[in-house]
Amino acid sequence: MGRLDVEEAVETVEMVRRMNLDVRAVTLGVSLLDCASPDPGELRERVVGKLLDVAGDLVEVVEEVEEELGVPIVHKRIAVTPCCLIVAPAARELGEEAALELADALDEAAGEVGVDFIGGYTALVYDGFTTGDEAILDTIPEALERTERLCASVVVADERYGINMEAVKRAAEAVKETAERTDGLGCARLVALANAPENTPFMAGAFHGVGQPDACVNVGISGPGVVRAVIEELGDVDFRTLHDEIKRTAFKITRVGELVGRRVAERLGVEFGAVDLSLAPTPEEGDSVAEILEGIGLESCGCPGSTAALHLLMDAVKKGGAAATSRHGGYSEAFIPVSEDAGMARAAREALTLEKLEAMTAVCSVGIDMVVIPGDTPVETIAGIIADEAAIGVATGKPTAVRIIPAPGKEPGDEFELGGLLGKAPVMDVSDYRPTMFRRRGRVPPKFPR
């Protein structure tokens, strides 16, 4: 990557000062493949030891880079090898006990390092179940109840293999039980995935892929506020001009993200991985993807035309970001989480329905994200929502996901507070009609290749 020139540096300072530009996450991916052991105690000792050794200076280094560059960095995180692979030797004899020992080890290490979250408590079950997968799936609710920083994910589908419908149902059961054990809040750290990227910095779906280096830094940019300000300044222009300006803005934001990532990686002595180009909103006013879409030309996000506006935004962001770096990865689209985006939460009280949100996810990432539903929503209905998103992923080949929060005791229209950057959102209405397909077993095949 070339050095930022003077003009770019001035523009970056302006974006930080007036337009809420920040780097949303710096995530250190760490391989734990060399930590596996049939003895849970030894497994715990190896995991904690390696994470402290590799990631011990992460927070200090990120804060130094933040201070030097003048760019706020919101989250510092760790992602590890999918735990279904690490726990397998111990799980053959001890099952759930071994998995929970690993969960505690990860949370302990994350606390000592000082990161916000640690991801990788993951089951890879898009084409079947291993002993390690079973141990992780069976313990997700308890693991999330007893930890503070641990994030869990279940990969239920892949475009190459189709949808594992048994895994979809079990993921839904984990969501339901986690909500009951944690008053809904633990579900913010649990996601069901299709086509899961192995180098995303964003939680709750981050894990360190087995084909990646022993350790590497991945960066998640932000920038909804910057894009919204650009659209406001443009005024009434044609779509091509709008697209070009969003593309240029994405280019600049991506350059900042890569600069941060490379500097952190160099100081930690690890490889630089990728920049996730996704626009990640926050509950702060003005930092909203929904407000970008309304600036493009919607009376309220969720009304007819919302999917088309989102497609225009995504295409411009991806093209601009890809021009700025050859190391783009993760989701690299836009997130439309309801509770974490003040504009999306408002839209959910106005024009946005769950069905329209699903339609919009066909052209962006990550999917049905941070959506609050009534606490008495049946498991089959949650499974149907996960299956629908998985189908979009298999059909389009893009990553999709469901991070849904059944709020105990809440009904449609009630407010549910998650706190901090997780925000708050209205409880959305869900159909009373249940899918009965989960009485069947097996897989939905992948789409026919073109």
Rounded to the nearest 10 degrees, how much is the dihedral formed by the CA atoms of 247, 241, 307, 21? 40
Which amino acid type is present at position 303? C
Could you give the C-alpha distances from 166 to 138, 362, 381, in angstroms and in order? Answer: 13, 23, 14
- Structure tokens given for 187: 């579900």
| 3-state SS string for 373-395 | EECCCCHHHHHHHHHHHHHHHHH
Which amino acid type is present at position 402? V
Whether omega before 229 lies within 30 degrees of 0, making that bond cis, reads: no
Look at strands 190-194 and 400-407 and give their pairing: antiparallel
Which amino acid type is present at position 293? L
Question: What CA–CA distance (Å, rounded) separates 255 from 30?
Answer: 24
Scanning the structure block, which residue is given the tokens 């590890």? 80
Please give the pLDDT value at position 136. Answer: 96
Question: What CA–CA distance (Å, rounded) separates 142 from 358?
Answer: 29
Q: How much is the pTM?
A: 0.92
Number of helices (H) and strands (E) in the chain: give both, helices first: 15, 14
Please give the pLDDT value at position 6. Answer: 42
Question: What CA–CA distance (Å, rounded) separates 291 from 193?
Answer: 27
- Sequence ranges of the domains in the chain: 1-450
Spatial CA neighbour of 439 closest among 383, 401, 400 = 383
The domain defined by 1-450 folds into Anaerobic Ribonucleotide-triphosphate Reductase Large Chain (3.20.70)
Which helix (H) or strand (E) element contains residue 156? strand 150-158
Question: What CA–CA distance (Å, rounded) separates 13 from 21?
Answer: 9
Which helix (H) or strand (E) element contains residue 75? strand 73-80
Please give the pLDDT value at position 17. Answer: 52
Determine how many CB atoms are found less than 10 A away from the CB of residue 173. 17
Question: What CA–CA distance (Å, rounded) separates 75 from 303?
Answer: 33
Which amino acid type is present at position 355? E
Please give the pLDDT value at position 422. Answer: 87
The three-state secondary structure class of 417 is strand
Question: What CA–CA distance (Å, rounded) separates 251 from 346?
Answer: 29
Scanning the structure block, which residue is given the tokens 């869990």? 152
Question: What CA–CA distance (Å, rounded) separates 311 from 215?
Answer: 34
Question: What CA–CA distance (Å, rounded) separates 242 from 73?
Answer: 28
Scanning the structure block, which residue is given the tokens 């836009």? 334
pLDDT of the chain, 450 residues: tens digit per residue: 445 554 554 465 555 555 567 788 899 999 999 998 898 889 999 999 999 999 999 999 999 998 888 888 889 999 999 999 999 988 777 878 889 999 999 999 999 999 999 999 999 999 999 999 999 999 999 999 999 999 999 999 999 999 999 999 999 999 999 999 999 999 999 999 999 999 888 888 899 999 899 999 999 887 788 888 888 888 889 999 999 999 988 888 888 888 889 999 999 999 999 888 888 887 877 788 999 999 999 999 999 999 999 999 989 988 888 887 888 877 877 788 899 888 999 999 999 999 999 999 999 877 899 999 999 999 999 999 999 999 999 999 999 999 999 999 999 999 998 888 788 999 999 999 999 998 888 888 988 775
Spatial CA neighbour of 373 closest among 148, 176, 156 = 176
Q: Which residues, in sequence order, are bridge partners of residue 77?
A: 27, 117
Determine how many CB atoms are found less than 10 A away from the CB of residue 429. 15
DSSP result, 317-331: HHHHHHHH-S-EES-
Instruction: Give yes or no for a contact between 30 and 118, defined as CB atoms under 8 angstroms apart.
Output: no
Instruction: Compute φ and ψ for 419, nearest 5 degrees.
Output: 95, 150
